[in-house]
Structure 1
């Protein structure tokens, strides 16, 4: 069985799980797009974006989805079309010990349509899942192609998927290659036949694990801090926007109140002017009346 080292949430271990799908001697790693909801859509691609499986089901359980995905291979990356990732994706990523790739902002209809091209789907849930997976692949496409070149140059093309799986889950390319080299040394028959050499290599392997664990912890810490920083910046933008809107409203209210006062004062002046004129008119009429009485 193929042995693959996984790093996730600051943990590193060698694994040889029998339920991982193997293609020849190589592990088939996957990018899986998921569209959670009442109807769950999923789209499974290999690391070359070859479509392996697409489907959807109403009220699909997480266990059913795990089983469907596991039949195709081992997920290296999960993806969705919204940010933040839904709870179902977070739990699924925790089960498979992989990361979730999310867009910077929720994907729009035009973007999804362009990504899936001429692919046919039964419903929008399947399309959204496929678009999410393809977007995630595009994010890492250059790095995955670089890995293909590097493993070919080293004469270990059969290890490409293992290296890609590690890199997609926050291991640096140099650390992933080093880990593969150590694993190959331990598995070499000539080395295994020499007990002392085997013990030495296992000791080196333990030391390497500790170093990579520390490395993974630091990477996770940096990623967590970056996420927190992004959340704080977004919160600050919302606060600033709220303050600006409140100040704008207050300014508008002051402007409106000033206009109301101005109109009220103008009206009062007009009323006062009319009142004075009417009083003068009345006085003139009274005076004229008195004069006429005197002449009678």
Structure 2
């Protein structure tokens, strides 16, 4: 018979590892093979006592949070386990599942509100190979032999007492060294010499803790502590290397897509690519699991899909007729996919699962608890009867070694055997040398990796600091530019305020009237004037140049309701004759600088108040006469049109 596993399954009954007042109490179920030995409630201290005394193969938990509050406590917990005892989290490693889901794979049901039922289920599924082993230490261990008590202040027999302790430490160190040499383990030794022997002996052993042939020891004078070298991060190793069975749907073509489901219909993998070959698909599926059923969405399986099916010796599934797009969309509605090829592959896998689902459900009702459902379903689909499968899984056939028949060997054959034996011994010695060289190289590689990691860490810190400095410098430069811009804007506003204040002061004097100066009679000139001193209703505007004017600028000035526009006499004399007419039609006085006696200096000017009033009065008279002439011309035009229309009517009547 094969060796039976001894498993401890635990679950918290009350308390918590995070609480200082209520320490945890555990429901402990001890199993030997498939037989439950006992169920009891224990404290953490009592649990360690039982682990040390019985040294089971597996300590099974459904969550690491039940035994350690953080990673530091988990390392401490693992350090206290016996060397041969493995800590297994039955709900998985990095990607955890619920205990109910894990137990469901073995057709096991339990009351999740009963801690003893959970501990019993945890132990059962661990016995069946569920979960992942917690790996926390590297392939290196440390053994420290030291004094178990202090030498004290001394007395008449102080020297004899100290010499006895140091001699015991040295003797224990030599015993451990002999055990390491006998086991063929590579190690490094460091002794701290003291009066009468050694006060401390440390061994650095290049092997995992469970391979070290030394146990933790505490005597009257000497203590031995064994610890493994911690990993930087906890790792998980699956307890069973058996791959999961899959239902795979494949859509071949320019873009190849495949979808992988487990036998319960859960989507495990969905992928598509234009560069994926048949070998790439096979390799990707090997990483996910072992295909049991390979399906296609067309009635006749494509040749490419058939070759992949043969590579896995999988069961073929094709629909009775090609699957319609509506059916594909209905099947894949609960899932997310990125293109039509992934949709087709997923629909093929889901269609195959739908066809086999009722058969799987009927099998689950007939399979006894404690059996791997996936393995049973896979064997039944391949043609075995359920009774045959259950019988094979329950029976372990012992391996019998038949008695060797006497063989007569002649002398020549005996000589050849001796030669071959010598060759084997030499090859084994050479292999041992190569293994030692490999171990030395591994150690050097590990040392250089640690050194490289330290250099990379310091370099990353320097780069991060430099990047932060560059970022701050950029922010400072941006703020400086913004400050300079705001300072220039502030200076412009101060100048503008001074001009407006001076203009207001000039407006209060009685003999002259202030004039605002506009460079050109254009929209740009008007905008600059508005930004500089502003344009208000009733202002006098002096224009230096009238070239480039247009009717739109005349309308804009009219909308601002300025009092009058003053231009140089020469511009009126040689300028555009339509300029005066446009201003008259807009109702804005267009005056000359000589008539108004206007003087301009820079962006401000002054005109005589009396000359301005007389010139405006004359312009208003001309404006009234111009409007009367326009009305007269309009009446004459209307009369002529009427006379013409009347003449046409008389001729038609005649």
TM-score by length of 1: 0.52
Q: Which residue of 1 aligns with 2:317?
A: 101
Q: Looking at CA atoms only, which structure, 1 or 2, has the larger radius of gyration?
A: 2
Q: Are positions 1:75 and 2:296 aligned together?
A: no
Q: Which residue of 2 aligns with 1:131?
A: 347
Q: Are positions 1:34 and 2:245 aligned together?
A: no
Q: Which residue of 1 aligns with 2:330?
A: 114
User: How far is the alpha carbon of 1:24 from its aligned partner?
Assistant: 4.3
Post-superposition Cα deviations, 1:26-54, rounded to whole Å, max 9, x if no partner, equal 64111011001111110011111111110
The runs of 5 or more residues in structure 2 that have no matched partner are 1-236, 403-654
**Residue 85 (structure 1) aligned to one of 298, 301, 315:** 301
User: How far is the alpha carbon of 1:60 from its aligned partner?
Assistant: 1.7
Whole-angstrom distance in 1 between the partners of 2:373 and 2:351: 21
From the two aligned structures, give the one with the greater strand fraction. Answer: 2
The 8 Å contact of residues 43 and 129 in structure 1, kept in 2 or not, is answered as yes
The 8 Å contact of residues 69 and 75 in structure 1, kept in 2 or not, is answered as yes
Q: Are positions 1:166 and 2:379 aligned together?
A: yes
The 8 Å contact of residues 27 and 162 in structure 1, kept in 2 or not, is answered as no
**Residue 396 (structure 2) aligned to one of 178, 185, 201:** 185
**Residue 370 (structure 2) aligned to one of 156, 178, 182:** 156
**Residue 53 (structure 1) aligned to one of 265, 269, 272:** 269
TM-score by length of 2: 0.24
Post-superposition Cα deviations, 1:120-167, rounded to whole Å, max 9, x if no partner, equal 11101101110100110011101112222323x2x333x211111122
The 8 Å contact of residues 121 and 127 in structure 1, kept in 2 or not, is answered as yes
Count of matched residue pairs: 165
Post-superposition Cα deviations, 1:220-252, rounded to whole Å, max 9, x if no partner, equal xxxxxxxxxxxxxxxxxxxxxxxxxxxxxxxxx
Q: 1:77 to 1:166 in 2, by over 3 A?
A: same
Whole-angstrom distance in 1 between the partners of 2:348 and 2:362: 22
Post-superposition Cα deviations, 1:52-88, rounded to whole Å, max 9, x if no partner, equal 1101011421110011111111111111100110011
Whole-angstrom distance in 2 between the partners of 1:92 and 1:178: 32
Please, what is the CA RMSD of the aligned residues? 2.1
Whole-angstrom distance in 2 between the partners of 1:27 and 1:145: 22
Q: Secondary structure at the match of 2:357?
A: helix
Consecutive aligned runs of 4 or more in structure 1 exceeding 6 Å deviation: none
Q: Which residue of 2 aligns with 1:63?
A: 279
Q: Which moved more, 1:138-147 or 1:64-73?
A: 138-147
From the two aligned structures, give the one with the greater helix fraction. Answer: 1
RCO higher in structure (CA 8 A, sep ≥6)? 1
Whole-angstrom distance in 1 between the partners of 2:341 and 2:358: 28
User: How far is the alpha carbon of 1:179 from its aligned partner?
Assistant: 3.6
Whole-angstrom distance in 1 between the partners of 2:253 and 2:305: 11
User: How far is the alpha carbon of 1:195 from its aligned partner?
Assistant: 5.8
The 8 Å contact of residues 30 and 46 in structure 1, kept in 2 or not, is answered as yes
Q: Secondary structure at the match of 1:142?
A: helix
Whole-angstrom distance in 1 between the partners of 2:246 and 2:238: 12
Whole-angstrom distance in 1 between the partners of 2:239 and 2:262: 15
Q: Which residue of 2 aligns with 1:144?
A: 360
